Amino acid sequence: MKDSSAGDNFPARIEDMCALAAKRGRPVYSQFLNDREQFEAQRILSRRSGIESVLWGGNDACARRILRVTDGEAFLPEDRSDFPIYALSISFRKADKPGHRDFLGSFMGLGIKRETVGDIFVGEGNAAVFCTKTARDMISDGLLTVGRVGVSVTDGLTDDALAVIKPVSFEEITLTVASERADCVVSGITGLSREKTAAFIRSGGFLLNYGECTDVSRNVTDGDILTVRGHGKFAVSGEAGTTKKGRVKLSIKKYI
């Protein structure tokens, strides 16, 4: 099941949502967006005045989220009850071990599009799935197995399914680097020499805000998301001061 990404027509899609919200005078919703699409949508919307936007995936732990745009303040910021997101509980034998890819493959086999499915949390004997109504109906009506594992689908979240949803957690890290250039920061994360780090970045090993970045001199700033292949994903929290020798102390959070 191929995921979408923020391509050339993505800004136009966001602008169309804003125009439609203004024309209709009511909220407009996207499908589920991946991390890069969410970042790009927020960048586009930051330049728009009068448009209110919220991202929500059905649970605070969800990474894939739907974008809601309204022309003006139509909802309280914490109000998420209107989002067209549905939850399903899927149970199976504890001895069986279907994984995330197995669930995606089974959904694809039913003809379900990736953008209609949000996060899938898989635990021992249970899974929790967030999706649109179309996907919910197709899963409820047609899902009998995941891979070779027999499953049972229940509408809503059971206590067992709710228990498998794990919130995002971070490890706080302070890097001491020569500067906030990409090669300095990535070198601090990987432990590679500056020369090897430059080759690593130029070969596509570094993503800045979910897009490939091959510019070794590009500065990272507060709020940036760094993906370093083979080392994980990190969020830049800002500077934590400087050393007596003028080196920068950079606070980052590593996704666990």
**pLDDT, tens digit, for every residue of 148-183?**
999 999 999 999 999 999 988 999 999 999 999 999
Assess contact for 207 and 218: CB atoms under 8 A.
no
Domain definitions of the chain by residue range: 10-71, 86-162, 170-255
How many degrees, rounded to 5, is the angle at CA 229 between CA 228 and CA 233?
Answer: 45
Kindly state the tokens that stand for 150. Answer: 């027999």
Residue 234 backbone dihedrals phi, psi, to 5 degrees: -135, 150
Sheet with 65-71, strands from edge to edge, namely: 28-33, 65-71, 51-56
Residue 3 has pLDDT above 60, yes or no: no
Torsion angle, alpha carbons of 235, 219, 221, 9, to 10: -80
Structure token digits, residue 42: 């927020």
φ, ψ of residue 196 in degrees (nearest 5): -70, -35
Tell whether the model's pLDDT for residue 7 goes beyond 70.
Answer: no
Give the global pTM: 0.85
Backbone angles phi, psi at 145, to 5 degrees: -140, 155
Q: Is residue 87 within 8 Å of residue 128, measured between CB atoms? A: yes
Topology (CATH) of 86-162:
Alpha-Beta Plaits (3.30.70)
DSSP state of 220: P
Q: How far apart are CA 55 and CA 83, in angstroms?
A: 10
Q: Where are the beta strands (DSSP E) in the chain?
A: 28-33, 51-56, 65-71, 86-91, 117-122, 126-131, 145-146, 149-150, 152-155, 170-177, 206-208, 211-212, 225-228, 232-242, 248-255
Write down the residue that tokens 């379900």 correspond to: 112
CATH code assigned to 10-71: 3.30.1370
Is the separation of the CB atoms in 201 and 186 below 8 Å? yes
- What is the CATH T-level fold of the domain 170-255, as seen in this structure? 3.10.290
pLDDT of residue 50: 85
Q: Please tell me the least confidently modeled range out of 2-11, 68-77, 117-126, 178-187.
A: 2-11
What CA–CA distance (Å, rounded) separates 32 from 157? 19
pLDDT score of 239? 83
pLDDT at 6 over 70: no
| Residue 74 predicted with pLDDT over 70 | no
Q: What is the pLDDT of residue 39?
A: 92
**Domains 10-71 and 170-255 alike in fold:** no
Residue 47 has pLDDT above 70, yes or no: yes
Using DSSP bridges, classify how beta strands 86-91 and 28-33 pair: parallel, antiparallel or unpaired.
unpaired
8 pLDDT exceeds 70?
A: no
Q: What angle do CA 149, 155, 157 make, to 5 degrees?
A: 90
